Chains A and B, each alone.
Chain A
Amino acid sequence: MRQIILLFSLLLVASLVLTACPGPPAPVDAPDTAADSARTDADAEKIIYIGGAVSETGKYAREGQDTRQGYGVWLDWVNNEYGGIKIANHRYKVELVMYDDEGDPDTTARLVERLINEDRVDFLLGPYSSTLTQSASAIAEKYGKIMIEGNGAAETLFERGFQNLFAVLTPAGNYTQSALQMLAAKGAKTVVIAYEDTAFPTSVAEGAQRWAAEYGLELLGVETYPKDVADVSGIISKFKRLEADVFIGGGHFNDAVLFIRAAKELDFNPKAMVITVGPSNPKLVAEVGVDAEYIIGPTQWEASMNYADEYFGSASDYAARYREMWDESPTYQAAESTATALALHLAIEEANSLDTDAVREALRNLDVVTFYGPIDFDETGKNASKPMGAIQIQGGEILVVAPGNAAVADLLYPAPAWKDR
């Protein structure tokens, strides 16, 4: 009997902790019932409803906040400054319906279903991370709703033949391209890769292997690790023995901290560390301090890049607007979220209708340059036209070092050993 009770309670706890129990979704800005009647009334103020489930809690809480704030910048601009989206001589105000997906793919799916069936949104905006985008876009596709996103970069998202998924960001496979090209030119010969075994880092790592081969870098080792990992000593001490020139870490923000700490703790001294997501965020330097020096990171966008459009102005104008509104500098995750909403906006105006087929056609034909860079979707929905940049942390600043035309500093290579810093 006592074994049975113990086993039962073990199972119960394990299942509770494992699923981290997705509770009832916390609605944010959900439209009230009055909004429904407004939609049927032709003379009332015209409103376009756009919905999204974006992390407010869970593992992607930080990046989810950037995404929400990015959408928020566009929303504020389109309603208060631009005067609403133009369709057939009418101005449509936009209402954004947002939920918290808690970083859980099942919750994401449920919330997107709810956005489509209960909130009756016209279009969907993507969540943060490829994993959640994968789940959200499957529901959008099932109902034939257009979902445009700027935070799901894994190539696998676009290999499913979906008709309704569009992404403004450079796909994950190209993240390390400019960094590896530059490191190879500086004399790097060998590379090791560690990545989280979820959709986005996997795409980054596969792309990195492709680009390493392209630029003549020898691959010495590839390691995966699970989400929520708390210790990577095994990987780092293995890599230390391989003495590779370049370390590539594919993961999200928290993993960047873990890699930097583990490398220093185990005296692992590659000549360059390229880590996704973390380094381009000023918060990393603020928290990790001097140990973040010399770290290289891919970036979708930086305020110093020379892109501009007629809506938000130049990249640095956008950054100023963002700071004004949110009291912090925009990360590229925020900028690409704003660009996501802007691309949808431009396609709706181009289609001159809210009809899904017309807007889909307009998105396919869209070819513009924005503050975020060129947006031109290929037949799978990816934005194939935008190059990826690379930054390096130098003297506590995040400086663009590649591509050449956007660079504001030279790449420092090789990085000194930990004990010589």
Chain B
Amino acid sequence: MDQFLQALVSGLLLGGFYAVMALGLSVIWGVMGVINLAHGEFLMIGAYMAWGLFRFFGLDPFASLLLILPLMFLVGYLLQIILINRIVERPYLMALLVTFGVSIALANTFKILFTSDPRNVPVVYNGSMQLVGITFPIVKTIIFFVALLSMICLQIFLQRSRLGKSIRATAQNKNAARIVGVDINRVYAITAGLCIALTAAAGAMISPTQAIFPFMGPPFTLKAFTITALGGLGRIPGALLGGIILGITEILVSTYVQGIGTNLGIVTSFALLVLILVLRPQGLLGGLRPLDAEAE
């Protein structure tokens, strides 16, 4: 029983991180129909920023979020205006090619700037905590709650604020949004800024738990992609559900299957993805908008 609870807790914590990590990809895809293949690279940038701020200024990675979030919002905003707005509403392949190019350029730029030496942020509180017989990893628990908090904030912003409503309106029907006077390009830029800031924050938060290196991005992109497809495009509850399902599946399988558990956990998550795509192509919670090019 203890083992089961431990696996559940580990899975939940992993799932919370997965959700906040995947959200950026999910919302950009949902709102503008761009699949951002450079997603993992923005996570990598966030991790490097946290590492740099820790190493040179002694700033805690969670405190550095206050700097990383606005800075990366700006980066995302500018990237959207300069580059991505030119390929939005074009065929999918264009967006794939451009963002794939961005991912290669970013990974290699970081390799030149920081070399390929793996980095890590050795915070002092990276130990564990015992609670009712279950071990809670401190850093991962903080990540989980920060992730939850940021998702709740984003959800409230999307549901309540005027800007959030125009983002959702744009996602649902671009033409109608244009007709009622929404400045689509600005909405896109703000969406991209938010998403990229959030992704970089996810990267900053995991910097104490694993090695940071310029080519760490692609596996995260793939994982974010799986979660998005599982949960449904552009929906925050969807990303949360997808992330937690994936996290718990992986940890449960790896805890209970001997020998090949960790491998099998990842296989299971992809099997799950195929199943969902066949039975419910719009994802578990449905998409933020119909993904039909002709409908627009």
Q: Which residues of A contact B (CB under 8 A)?
A: 1-3, 5-7, 9-10, 12-14, 16-18, 20-21, 23, 57-59, 61-62, 64-65, 103, 197, 221-226, 228-235, 237-238, 240-241, 253-254, 257-258, 261-262, 264-267, 283, 287-291, 418-419
Within 171-189 of B, Cβ neighbours of A (below 8 Å) are at none
Whether the Cβ atoms of B213 and A254 lie closer than 8 Å is yes
Within 225-282 of B, Cβ neighbours of A (below 8 Å) are at 225, 229, 250-251, 253-255, 258-263, 265-266, 277, 281
Whether the Cβ atoms of B251 and A234 lie closer than 8 Å is yes
Contacts of A258 in B (CB 8 A): 210-211
A21→B38 CA distance, assembly (Å): 13
Within 59-93 of B, Cβ neighbours of A (below 8 Å) are at 92-93
Among residues of B, the one whose C-beta sits closest to the C-beta of A283 is B117
The 6 closest A-B pairs by CB, nearest first: A234-B254, A61-B116, A265-B137, A289-B122, A254-B211, A257-B211
Given the contacts A1-B294, A234-B261, A235-B254, A9 and B221 also touching, CB distance less than 8 Å? no
Number of A-B contacts (CB under 8 A): 175
Whether the Cβ atoms of B222 and A17 lie closer than 8 Å is yes
Given the contacts A5-B293, A266-B128, A231 and B14 also touching, CB distance less than 8 Å? yes
A5→B222 CA distance, assembly (Å): 19
Decide yes or no whether B220 CB sits under 8 A from chain A: yes
Decide yes or no whether B3 CB sits under 8 A from chain A: yes
A240→B35 CA distance, assembly (Å): 40
Contacts of B117 in A (CB 8 A): 62, 283, 287
Decide yes or no whether B153 CB sits under 8 A from chain A: no
Whether the Cβ atoms of A3 and B100 lie closer than 8 Å is no
Q: Is the interface of B mostly helix, strand, loop or mixed?
A: helix
Decide yes or no whether B158 CB sits under 8 A from chain A: no
Contacts of B219 in A (CB 8 A): 228, 230
Whether the Cβ atoms of A1 and B37 lie closer than 8 Å is no
Q: Can you show 21 pairs from A to B with CB atoms below 8 A apart?
A: A5-B293, A13-B225, A14-B225, A17-B37, A17-B225, A64-B116, A197-B263, A225-B262, A225-B263, A228-B219, A232-B262, A233-B10, A234-B254, A235-B261, A238-B255, A254-B118, A257-B118, A257-B211, A265-B140, A287-B118, A288-B120
Given the contacts A226-B266, A257-B210, A290-B122, A266 and B259 also touching, CB distance less than 8 Å? no
Whether the Cβ atoms of B292 and A264 lie closer than 8 Å is no
What total of chain B residues lie within 8 Å of the partner, measured CB to CB? 67
A288→B223 CA distance, assembly (Å): 26
Contacts of B259 in A (CB 8 A): 222-224
Among residues of B, the one whose C-beta sits closest to the C-beta of A12 is B96
Contacts of B277 in A (CB 8 A): 7, 10
Whether the Cβ atoms of A267 and B127 lie closer than 8 Å is yes
Whether the Cβ atoms of A261 and B115 lie closer than 8 Å is no
Decide yes or no whether B139 CB sits under 8 A from chain A: yes
Q: Which of B14, B126, B292 contacts A5 (CB 8 A)?
A: B292
A13→B255 CA distance, assembly (Å): 30
A6→B277 CA distance, assembly (Å): 9
A140→B251 CA distance, assembly (Å): 42
A288→B10 CA distance, assembly (Å): 22
Q: Which of A2, A237, A289, A290 contacts B135 (CB 8 A)?
A: A237
Whether the Cβ atoms of A264 and B126 lie closer than 8 Å is yes
Whether the Cβ atoms of B213 and A62 lie closer than 8 Å is yes
Given the contacts A17-B225, A61-B213, A287-B120, A418 and B7 also touching, CB distance less than 8 Å? no
Contacts of B127 in A (CB 8 A): 264-265, 267, 418-419
Among residues of B, the one whose C-beta sits closest to the C-beta of A421 is B127
Decide yes or no whether B58 CB sits under 8 A from chain A: no
Contacts of A419 in B (CB 8 A): 127
Whether the Cβ atoms of B37 and A13 lie closer than 8 Å is yes
A280 nearest CB across to chain B (Å):
14
Contacts of A2 in B (CB 8 A): 281, 290-292, 295
Among residues of B, the one whose C-beta sits closest to the C-beta of A21 is B100
Whether the Cβ atoms of A23 and B104 lie closer than 8 Å is yes
A6→B282 CA distance, assembly (Å): 9
A91→B220 CA distance, assembly (Å): 52
B63 nearest CB across to chain A (Å):
19
Whether the Cβ atoms of A17 and B250 lie closer than 8 Å is no
Q: With A2-B290, A226-B262, A289-B122 given, can you name 5 additional A-B contacts, CB distance below 8 Å? A: A223-B262, A231-B250, A235-B262, A238-B254, A287-B211
Decide yes or no whether B22 CB sits under 8 A from chain A: no
Whether the Cβ atoms of A253 and B211 lie closer than 8 Å is yes
B210 nearest CB across to chain A (Å):
5
Contacts of B37 in A (CB 8 A): 13, 16-17
Within 1-17 of B, Cβ neighbours of A (below 8 Å) are at 3, 6-7, 10, 14
Decide yes or no whether B111 CB sits under 8 A from chain A: yes
Whether the Cβ atoms of B208 and A261 lie closer than 8 Å is yes
Contacts of A59 in B (CB 8 A): 215
Interface string of B110-124 (1 = CB under 8 A from A): 010001111110100
Whether the Cβ atoms of B100 and A16 lie closer than 8 Å is yes
Whether the Cβ atoms of A257 and B251 lie closer than 8 Å is no
Among residues of A, the one whose C-beta sits closest to the C-beta of B281 is A3
B117 nearest CB across to chain A (Å):
5
Given the contacts A61-B111, A283-B117, A10 and B14 also touching, CB distance less than 8 Å? no
